[in-house]
Amino acid sequence: MTGQVNYLAGKVAEDQVAARYAHDGHVILSRRWRGQAGELDLVTEKDGEIVFVEVKKSRSFARAAERLSRRQMQRIYTSASDFLGHMPRGQNSDARFDVALVDTHGGIEIIENALSA
């Protein structure tokens, strides 16, 4: 039961973050995009820039941030590279990596350019 509860809580957090990005003028390109290296939670575009968003949910923003490991960051970079390979400008696309932290109360803290390659 815990696995399904965590899955659903993560899905709700991703929905909230996607709504926030859409409200801020981003076009949602993909949600839970799967490539050979793994999954990207959210991919958006605004003003020609592709934004890869990793969503982390926990009791607090600090605990959510602690859940992002070096291994996950590498997976995100590799998956993003795969995603960009399907875009018209490919690897020459302007892109950034954000982390969206979601706490138990549904609060969202977005850290732009949180991951640097």
Domain count, the chain: 1
Quote the mean pLDDT of the chain. 90
pLDDT digits (tens, 9 = 90+) for 59-114: 888 888 888 888 999 999 999 999 999 888 888 889 999 999 999 898 999 999 99
Has residue 48 been placed in a domain? yes
Domain extent, residue 83, equals 2-111
Has residue 40 been placed in a domain? yes
Has residue 116 been placed in a domain? no
The CATH number covering residue 38 comes to: 3.40.1350.10
Q: Please state the rounded mean pLDDT for residues 2-29.
A: 89
pTM beyond 0.75, yes or no = yes
Q: Is pLDDT at 1 greater than 70 in this prediction? A: no
Q: What is the Cα 74 distance to its own chain's centre?
A: 13
Q: What is the DSSP string of the chain?
A: -HHHHHHHHHHHHHHHHHHHHHHTT-EEEEEEEE-SS-EEEEEEEETTEEEEEEEEE-SSHHHHHHT--HHHHHHHHHHHHHHHTTSTTGGGSEEEEEEEEE-TT--EEEETT----
Q: Taking Cα atoms as reference points, which of 66, 68, 24 lies closest to residue 47?
A: 24
Strand-strand pairing, 27-34 and 39-46: antiparallel
Q: Write down the pLDDT at residue 66.
A: 85
Has residue 117 been placed in a domain? no
Q: Is pLDDT at 116 greater than 90 in this prediction? A: no
